[in-house]
Chain A
Amino acid sequence: MDVRPLRLVFLDLCVLSTLILSGCASRSDTAQQAATYEEDFNDPLEDTNRKIFEFNQVVDRNVLVPVAKAYRTALPDPVRDSLRDFLNNLREPLVFVNDTLQGELGRAAKTVGRFVVNSTIGIGGVVDVAGRWGIPFHEEDLGLTLGVWGVPEGPYIVVPILGPSTPRDLGAQVAEGFGDPWNNLVTGNPWTLYWIPFVRGGVAGIDQRSRYIETLADIERTSLDYYATIRSLYRQRREALIRHQEENLPPNPSFSQRDDRGSPGALENSARRPGMISQAANVSEVSKQ
């Protein structure tokens, strides 16, 4: 039972590295060509992506939003907050692993502290005691760790149901699913509990979506091109998380180098700064926090 998940993780890392390598290859190919607008967005699959995006929108309108609204109506605020805190607490072991892999020992120590305090005094994580003491939950995942290490995100992709992503982030997400200690605990042996990780993922998704019903509806209503807006938001959000938001605004000032001189690639430079990693999570994560 200790060996199996590890093997699975390795398997996934292989898949992941293949995805990343193909991502790298296509990047350097395009770098040699003159930049076209399509390449500025690094979205070579745009036509397909837009179709999947439309499909996701249909699912969102007809399933996710109604369920999220029902969830918000049925459960009072404190109950939903407890549920979120509980789910966050389950994430802490992987957050810790990622903090450590990034060499962020201070953040890793905070994560351990949060997990110990919330699992005990916080009754298995349903009360975020550590948060009230001034150590809030911070997001971290394998996709972000790879970003910190300088692994390029690859082209933008829209995944059915899951939404915006990149090869790097999607591969990392799958790997984490297999590497998650709780998932391994319940699916280890017997296999009858295999559904638990799916329920967990589903509840987390609905809770997440329920917090952005108005925000996303508003962005959609006012957007001229909702797909392009979400694509930009997703990438900037992932990039901000990789930077750990030490500075909210990206470090190189876009305004002092605005390109009314029309230099080639200027749009690319400010829309996608060097080292900027695109991001994925589901659509709702875009406006998270």
Chain B
Amino acid sequence: MTAAPAPTEMAMAKALNAGLRRALESDPRVLLMGEDIGRLGGVFRVTDGLAKDFGEDRVMDTPLAESGIVGTAVGLALRGYRPVCEIQFDGFVYPAFDQIVSQVAKMRFRSGSTAVMPVVVRIPYGGGIGAVEHHSESPEAYFVHTPGLRVVSPSTPEDAYWMVQQAIASDDPVVFLEPKRRYWDKGTVDVSAAPRPLFAGRQLREGSDAVLVGYGPTVGTCLEAAEAASEEGRSVGVVDLRSLSPVDWPLLVGAARAYGRVVVVHEAHRTLGIGAEVAARLSEECFYSLEAPVLRVTGYDTPYPPSRMEEVWLPDVDRVLDALDEALAY
């Protein structure tokens, strides 16, 4: 009997790589497909070494056509495979929009579950890396708005490791959003502990005055803001949504009831973003528990700006603290 491997420190990109490796090992029907994911190992090296170890048949460099990547994944899924598509950057997912929204998302529904889509679409998303246009976007709301899709986003290496495997094992299609500016952040990954459920949120920090709600790239921002607030004597909790479709409403409603003040933080545009849904839902479900309106700290309702001004565009600790002040002033 071998001892369970000890938890190790690794970056999120490495954790995703380990998760994909394990998925490839455990199920021969799992295939990776995308642009430059083979010999190069992906532009972020998330698939580094996988083509070498599993063959270019299972880790496929595809032609440069996003609709083709997802459209052929549909066919592979119909044949019984479990394709994992990599879209190289968030801004390049739109050519595949029809295949994701009209084909992948609706297939189970229109076929009465006789044709199902265990397809994962991995997308590095969000800003903060000084990239050129179309490389910093947060398209999650489009997919959350689409019935039939599941949408998740890990914020830590350990979640990345487990959630990518759970997404691949899911019989529902999953849009898997990877916070690219957190790819190189390290964290402890326990590959032998039982994972949390894929579609559950997680309370990362307790607090009695207010709760910050983030996901993906903004969870770290929320934690920093909560820490800064505690230095000012305020007790602020943090919830990592982890899953955007479905949202873990029991967790969120519980937190809202407990603290009465909620601030949602995301990089995506404000209007009709996840924050809007959280605000609407909490006002429906726990109106009398709220001490303040649910506030949103988000990217602005402009196209993503030139990178030299992304620091003022993206939610940062100061903006979160400002919103906290506003919430606490009610």
Is A bound to B?
no
